[in-house]
A and B are shown apart, each in its own frame.
Chain A
Amino acid sequence: MSRTIIPFGPQHPVLPEPLHLKLVVEDETIVEAIPALGYVHRGLETLASIRDYNQMVYIVERVCGICSCIHAMCYCQGLETMMNVEVPSRAKYLRVIWSELHRIHSHLLWLGLFADGFGFESLFMQFWKIRERVMDINEATAGNRVVISVNVVGGVRRDLDKTQQRWILDELDKLEKELRQLMKTMLDDYTVKKRTVGVGVLTAEQAIQLGAVGPTLRGSGVAQDARQLGYAAFDELDFEPVTSPEGDSWARSKVRFMETLQSMDIVRQAISRLPDTELAAKVPGKPTGEVVCRVEQPRGELLYYLKGNGSKNMERVRIRTPTFANIPPLLAMLPGAQLADVPIAALTIDPCISCTER
């Protein structure tokens, strides 16, 4: 049968971002997928030579607006390791709280977009309605909805007082109740399962071999989560990586749904154990040496390589984002799938192109 090439993107109604795949199809079955990237490349790693290491915190927050807090956290933790700064324990717990709030809003955003991807618009609206409440928590505690800018090298810049802590706990209880009402529709509905079960299957061996990270990996039954490294205060909190063995789109959506509930639990634990110390430690001197720092983003494992040369500018800031690691697994999922299932399968890796291309 003759082969045709169908472009998917860069402007596609399912994705707000320019992801471009060239799909080689035979009839309506995908034979091969070829990615083309570079539409949102800015080259922000070079700004390290212009901005000093404290100003770079604001730049790395804008690598990706959805998980900005976690990017800044990773960068700050890397510099703190390099400069031997002991971060106060209250700052570690506050970092956990804000990063988990970011994970909740990112997963809710994805669940909404995924519902929109298979044409269930009212479910999309429900998830985004819940998400707005998390944005309100961000705005009330940090002053901005998306880029909250709480991390500095050596600690955090904002505190949560007792009233705010109680309010966050109240809001989370209400959110969890509302979210649990949507669980049946998202994971058990006949029509939804028709679109998600068995679409974009990735086996555990393939996932490990191709270097999948985050929910894409855990959706194939591999219990690996960078939070188990115990950075910030995660070593003192109880949680288990959420996994699901099926490896299809349904499994990945289940992992993300359960992780949202898990993150709410982590925030509760962190608030109940919040110690009473300073917010930030003094940072002496200039960064010298090399360091690699890993954290868990909503999309998977994020890696920063930092190199300092004793001046106020970093010599190199290298960022490896989870979507970059998840593109080879996506290309492995697509062959054999129907053309109509491509948006669903592409969405399940939660592509963040602005992270990938920076």
Chain B
Amino acid sequence: MGLLENWINKGRLKSPWVVHFDCGSCNGCDIEVLACLTPVFDVERFGIINVGNPKHADVLLVTGTVNHRNKKVLKNIYDQMPDPKAVIAIGACGTSGGVFRECYNVVGGVDQVIPVDVYVPGCPAKPDAIIDGVVTALDVVKAKLGLGEMPKVTVID
């Protein structure tokens, strides 16, 4: 591994940039993702920055169920992100469809369309849980770079 590549990887793991996509959520998880950025939780102290362009991002945060209209948009955003990337499904809706799974316009969880690395449960997921999810996603990125082991599945009671 070259010196330059080493340096880029270090930056990638030290300061992950996230892009947030609202995929038919009820806003509950969206405002909790935004709350992570604000003074009480303040993810910027970990170097996590919310960006608007998927081409700049390492981690994709998806809130809400996937529906028939926005599944193409979600796939498009995922395809635009450079490798290595991690996807976090936030909330009960993102993991499985939640209370909306029987609605006619709902496809289901995010994993029906794109591969998901980390699931953050909760309705809505708390900011602490979302930050924990992003930190776990970093280990996934690290493993994809071949620098560490893939994190094991953990179930928190």
Q: Which residues of A come within 8 Å of B, CB atoms?
A: 10-11, 13, 16-18, 38-44, 46-47, 50, 58-59, 62-66, 68, 109, 112, 124-125, 128-129, 131-132, 135, 145-147, 352, 354
Mark interface residues in B48-61 (1 if CB within 8 Å of A CB, else 0): 00001000000000
A47 to B97 alpha-carbon distance, docked (Å): 13
Q: Which of these, B22, B39, B98, B100, contacts A125 with CB under 8 Å?
A: B39
Is B10 engaged at the interface, CB distance under 8 Å to the other chain?
Answer: no
Do the beta carbons of A68 and B28 come within 8 Å of each other? yes
Interface residues of B in 25-39 (CB under 8 A from A): 25-35, 38-39
Do the beta carbons of B99 and A58 come within 8 Å of each other? yes
Assuming the contacts A46-B103, A65-B28, A128-B35, asked whether A41 and B69 have C-beta atoms less than 8 A apart, the reply is yes
In the complex, what residue of chain B is closest to A40 when comparing beta carbons? B24
Do the beta carbons of A17 and B30 come within 8 Å of each other? yes
Interface of A, secondary structure class, is loop
Interface residues of B in 85-128 (CB under 8 A from A): 98-100, 102-106, 123-124, 126
Do the beta carbons of A59 and B99 come within 8 Å of each other? yes
Chain A's nearest CB lies how many Å from the CB of B83?
21
Do the beta carbons of B38 and A125 come within 8 Å of each other? yes
Do the beta carbons of A46 and B67 come within 8 Å of each other? no
Assuming the contacts A17-B30, A128-B35, A145-B126, asked whether A40 and B99 have C-beta atoms less than 8 A apart, the reply is no
A-B contact pairs, 22 of them (CB 8 A): A13-B52, A17-B22, A17-B30, A39-B24, A39-B67, A39-B70, A40-B25, A42-B24, A42-B100, A47-B103, A59-B99, A62-B98, A64-B26, A65-B26, A65-B27, A65-B30, A128-B35, A128-B39, A132-B35, A132-B39, A146-B124, A354-B25
Residues of B within 8 A of A16 (CB): 20, 22, 27, 30-31, 33-34
Is B136 engaged at the interface, CB distance under 8 Å to the other chain?
Answer: no
Q: Which residues of B come within 8 Å of A, CB atoms?
A: 20-35, 38-40, 52, 64-65, 67, 69-70, 73, 77, 98-100, 102-106, 123-124, 126
Residues of A within 8 A of B52 (CB): 11, 13
Residues of A within 8 A of B67 (CB): 39-42
Assuming the contacts A11-B21, A47-B102, A147-B28, asked whether A128 and B38 have C-beta atoms less than 8 A apart, the reply is yes
Residues of A within 8 A of B103 (CB): 42-44, 46-47
Residues of A within 8 A of B29 (CB): 65
Residues of B within 8 A of A50 (CB): 102
A187 to B129 alpha-carbon distance, docked (Å): 36
Do the beta carbons of A41 and B99 come within 8 Å of each other? no
Residues of A within 8 A of B31 (CB): 16, 65-66, 109, 146
Chain B's nearest CB lies how many Å from the CB of A130?
10
Do the beta carbons of B126 and A41 come within 8 Å of each other? no
Do the beta carbons of A40 and B102 come within 8 Å of each other? no
In the complex, what residue of chain A is closest to B105 when comparing beta carbons? A43
Identify the interface centre among A43, A65, A109: most chain B CB within 10 Å of its CB: A65
Residues of A within 8 A of B65 (CB): 42
A10 to B21 alpha-carbon distance, docked (Å): 10
